[in-house]
Structure 1
Amino acid sequence: MLAFIGPETPLENLLLTPENSLVNQALDPESHPELQLAGWGFGAWGEHLAHPEKPFIYRRPMAAFYDDNLERIVPSLRASTMLAHVRAAAYDAKVVLADENCHPFSFEGTRWIVAQNGYLPGWQILQRELLQHCKDEYLKQMAGSTDTEFIYVLLLSLLEGDSDEDVQRAVEELIRLVASAMDKLDLPGLTKLKLALVSQDRIIGVNAGLGLQGETDPTGDWRELRKSEPGTDDFSLSMLLEPLYFLMGRKFEEDTSTYAFEQCAEDEATGVIFASEALTEDTDGWSQLDFGHIVFLRNEGGRVTKKVEALSV
């Protein structure tokens, strides 16, 4: 996943031209064992869109690099707020490839859209306990069959407002409710909640989840655990505990061909990228959002602010 806020910037500078661009990650992800072939999509706000206060949403259930619309749509758009995602799915006939299962998800009645690299095991059964916390206005908008869309419903239902504090409380309550439901139904399992919650000029990034036994405080060195074979418990735990990334800078909009925007001090930054993987092979300058933390990024009057908090669950 990839999110951006800042000056209105050509969308291709964010999605196509970086050396480890999101589209390239669909075929060659740096930190994921599976190809991202099950679909892709993006939501974008821009001053020159017909409805700049609403996100332009595009989703398609095919690998991004096979999408014949990619070279037609993306180079024509500029965005000041953007959230994009490429979807991984197991090679299984049960996986439903449809627009409705592609991220980002966007419902009426909320300013937030969402995408995640995550996994909620047994979520259909966990609904026995979790549906009581979901509001009808969001449940009736569910159109797909993914755990992410259900998490979106649950999170929106728990929000009491749109402040940073409201969002953090809702995320913490969501984690507690999932852990409690797993315990009550005896369905413990590793749960990844690596979320980007985006509205115009705001990004809230979440790096959270539950351990292999449903514990709220999993620990370990993700780099050491990553040395295990894909498919093992240790490898799965490494993917839970690994960081997310963000990079603050300026002059994004002036670079029309490459990704060489200008890095600067945080108090001079005019834009920020939040991503599941760094978009450059060299990660110097990229900050990490460690497991168990939430980051609040906001564009206020042309300057980007950052606040990182530890989640309390």
Structure 2
Amino acid sequence: MCRHLAYLGPEQPLKHLLLDPPHSLYRQSWAPRHQRNGTVNADGFGVGWYADGDPVPARYRRSGPIWADQSLLDLARVVRSGAVLAAVRDATLTGADAEAAAAPFASGRWLFSHNGAVAGWPDAAAPLVSLLPPVDVLSLQARTDSAFVWALVLHRLRSGEAAEHALAGAVRQLAEAAPASRLNLLLTDGDTVTATAWGDSLWYRAEPGHAVIVASEPYDDEPLWREVPDRTVVTASRTEVRLDPVEDLVSVSPKEPCT
């Protein structure tokens, strides 16, 4: 269910990240190598990126398959960024809300993507609705499980939780309500990338002091890629990558640093 990627590093054209690598996100839309559920990610795609001096990212999203969008070829050739989040989608419910359901979701400086599915959607998630302010429920960006997961995460961020605690806490809530869920989440504010591995593949490639990529799967065969263990939170910047078990971050107060 979906493939996604986040990049922090020197500015480069979007095509160098999304189109050019031999196993790029573009190719993963029809031929993923590590996807555990589903085979084709043709129900929409999106890319979000940050420009120098502007903390609010831009987005380009479409409801069709990435390979059918001719405008992306020109866009990806000329747009450059040092912070990117992109995704291709295999919908839980095909056709729901068109491009509004395509990641990345956004609010303020944040970009977010969900690779997976909430098992038993929507019934299993119904008990969690009461955790959200009514206005958050009424303003969901789409009628999908991913949009609801984003609402849970965003509520935690707005409440002052650090990104790693917000993701870990939301994953724990969802896993308790719907135990068979797959909850690989990806979040960035343009300076850091935070992600969870929960039920599907997740990898990272780090060149400390230069660049970091966190992705559903490697986009090439370079030996720098490392697989993330299941039920782990990744916290990455251009200088370092940290891996923590989800449960360790759930048990630590979100207002205090994790040691």
Q: 1:19 aligns with which of 12, 17, 22?
A: 22
Task: Please state if 1:193 is matched with 2:200.
Answer: no
What's 2:164 paired with?
A: 168
- Root-mean-square deviation over aligned CA pairs: 2.0
Please name the residue that 1:44 is paired with. 49
> Is the 8 Å Cα contact of residues 168 and 233 (structure 2) preserved in structure 1?
no
Alignment match, 1:84: 86
Equivalent residue number for residue 308 of structure 1: 243
The equivalent of 1:2 in structure 2 is 5
Label 1:308 to 1:179 Cα distance change in 2 as closer, same or farther (>3 A): closer
Q: CA deviation at 1:287?
A: 1.4
Q: CA deviation at 1:71?
A: 1.3
C-alpha distance in structure 2 between counterparts of 1:283 and 1:191, whole Å: 31
Matched residues in 1 for 2:28 and 2:20: separation?
Answer: 12
TM-score scaled by structure 1? Answer: 0.72
> Quick one: structure 1 residues 84 and 13, their matched pair in 2 at CA, closer, same or farther if it must change by over 3 Å?
same
Match 1:285 to one of 210, 213, 224: 224
Report the equivalent of 1:223.
none
Secondary structure of the structure 2 residue equivalent to 1:69: helix
Where does residue 54 of structure 1 map in the other structure? 56
- Residue 75 of structure 1 corresponds to 77
1:175 Cα deviation (Å)? 3.1
Q: Are the equivalent residues in 2 in contact too, given 1:38–1:97 (CA < 8 A)?
A: no
Q: What is aligned with 1:148?
A: 146
Q: Are the equivalent residues in 1 in contact too, given 2:206–2:241 (CA < 8 A)?
A: no
- The aligned residue for residue 128 of structure 2 is 130
Report the identity percentage.
27
TM-score (normalised: structure 2):
0.86
**Structure 1 unaligned runs (5+)?**
183-188, 209-239, 250-265
Q: Deviations over 1:158-184 (max 9, x none)?
A: 23325xxx33333333233224434xx
Pairs aligned (count): 242
Which runs of 5 or more residues in structure 2 are unaligned? 251-259
Letter in structure 2 aligned against 1:161: G
SS in structure 1 opposite 2:224?
coil
Measured in 2, the distance between the counterparts of 1:128 and 1:27 equals 33
Give, in whole Å, the separation in 1 of the partners of 2:196 and 2:235: 9
Of 68-77 and 136-145, deviating more is 136-145
